Amino acid sequence: MTDRFTILDAPEEFLSAPLRLTTDLSAIADNWREMARRSGKARAAAVVKADAYGLGIEDVGQTLYRAGARDFFVAVPAEGATLRPYAPEARIFVLSGIWPGQEEIFFENDLVPVIASEEQLAFWMAVLTERGPYPCALHVDTGFNRLGLPMADAMALVDDVSRPASLDPVLVMSHLACGDDPTSPMNRRQLEKFQEVSEAFEGVDSSLSASAGIFLGSDYHFDLTRPGIALYGGEAVNGARNPMQPVVKAEARILQIRDAKAGESVSYGATHLLSRDSRLAVASVGYADGYLRNLSGSGIALRDTGFPGAEGVIGDKRVPVVGRVTMDLTIFDVTDLSENAVRSGDYIELLGPSMPLDDVARAAGTIGYEMLTGLGLRYERIYLEGED
């Protein structure tokens, strides 16, 4: 696995980068094919909202399109417009739906609005009356209480004679609240409701499951699945072995190695007291790079004290964060490494094949999704392409 991240012809400017983020596009393609396989008879879409979970919608979108994805989900129309040239023949669904003033960006980029409220539906019908037929999706709420038409309203629409003939849903969808917990009774409750919706909209494709729901079994697959986090190597199901390939590696350069004495303190607030003479490595990464302050080694108020702080990896050794993470800098305890194992200028792996994304996220009391989408703008980005 580590071999995948070997960079052979790295440009000079990349080698000098204080921070680098390596995205393995062939692993994303493999993960999509794996989710498509696990979706059984259903087609697998690809969710690329929030700049493909922070990894870059252009490169990621093109990779997924080449792998065979023909249905994409974005959150807002601008993301769909950015994706369009990289996914020319694909259907691009916009999860936030359509608002007055957005008609042009939808029509010009051939984006499909996901209609999610009565208000949007009324607006959309007015648009259709002027424009004529244009596809849409309907999001029906089955218990999440985020977006979605109330179930009764969606069902009423099926037989509504006053609805314009041009209202042409190509998809009905809903979203699971507890898909990441296979033991939750909520899953079956939502499934049963969605089955009713799916049957009512006979002949229209239906979609219920994001990454986690795909693992709940074939009942949950319907016609189209919507994997996101799993494509990027993240954990979809709580407490289960993650079968996805790691995709991202984030590294920071070590700016200096310093010796400090037992009894001295480290970083803001002087909250971390050294219990022994120590060697400290100061890395060029901080909370401005999404290396969250909650990853600090000790002494952060307002954090669940159960978390001991994060670790990075140098060579094949894990080294803990000591003291508070600051805006641009983080300090790691490298006392236990041999003298020559680390020098200034070396990179420390913050997350990647040796330091799973979700382990780092847990150390901060959050989830991989938030880590990925918060990585920030300072990383030099490199994309590894596979042979295909």
Ligand X SMILES: *Cc1c(COP(=O)(O)O)cnc(C)c1O
Shortest separation between residue 211's beta carbon and ligand X, angstroms: 3
Contact 207, 173 (CB under 8 A): yes
Give first-to-last CA distance, the chain, whole Å: 18
What is the smallest separation between the CB atom of 75 and ligand X, expressed in angstroms?
7
Q: Is position 253 an interface residue for ligand X (rule: CB under 6 A)?
A: no
Single residue of 47, 57, 172, 321 touching ligand X by CB under 6 A: 47
The nearer residue to ligand X, 175 or 272, going by C-beta atoms, is 175
Segment 81 to 100, residues that bind ligand X, using CB under 6 A: 95
Taking a C-beta distance cutoff of 8 angstroms, is the pair 82, 58 a contact? Answer: yes
Q: How many C-beta atoms lie closer than 10 Å to residue 150's C-beta? A: 12
Show the site string, 111-150: x = touches ligand X by CB under 6 A, - = not: ----------------------------------------
Considering only 229, 266, 313, 360, the residue that binds ligand X (CB under 6 A) is 229
Rounded Cα–Cα distance for residues 238 and 92 (Å): 29
230: number of CA atoms within 13 Å, CB side? 32
Residue closest to 305 by CA, chosen among 318, 296, 317, 316: 296
Report the catalytic residues. 49, 268
Rg (CA), the chain: 24
Among 211, 245, 284, 294, binds ligand X (CB under 6 A): 211
Which residue's CB atom is positioned nearest to ligand X? 228
Q: Which is nearer to ligand X, 230 or 321 (CB)?
A: 230
Site map (CB under 6 A) of ligand X, residues 146-175, x = contact: -----------------------------x
Burial category of 110 from C-beta neighbours within 10 Å (exposed 0-12, middle 13-18, buried 19 and up): middle
Q: Minimum Å distance from CB 230 to ligand X?
A: 6
Q: Least distance to ligand X from the beta carbon of 226, Å?
A: 4
Residue 371 counted as an annotated binding residue: no
Q: What are 260's two structure tokens?
A: 């400090």
**Of residues 139 and 324, the one with the C-beta less far from ligand X:** 139
Ordered DSSP codes for 72-132: EEESSHHHHHHHGGGSTTSEEEETT---TT-HHHHHHTTEEEEE-SHHHHHHHHHHHHHH-
**Assigned token pair, 32:** 């999509």
Indicate the pairing of strand 347-351 with strand 248-260.
Answer: antiparallel
Nearer CB in complex with ligand X: 226/253: 226
For residue 228, state whether it binds ligand X (rule: CB under 6 A). yes
Binds ligand X by CB under 6 A, chosen from 48, 136, 208, 210: 210
Shortest Cβ 322–ligand X spacing (Å): 33
- Residues contacting ligand X: total by CB under 6 A: 12
53 versus 291: smaller Cβ distance to ligand X = 53
- CA nearest neighbour of 4 among 21, 26, 20: 26
Return binding residues for substrate.
146, 327
Q: Which residues of the shown chain bind ligand X in the complex (CB under 6 A)?
A: 47, 49, 95, 175, 210-212, 226-230
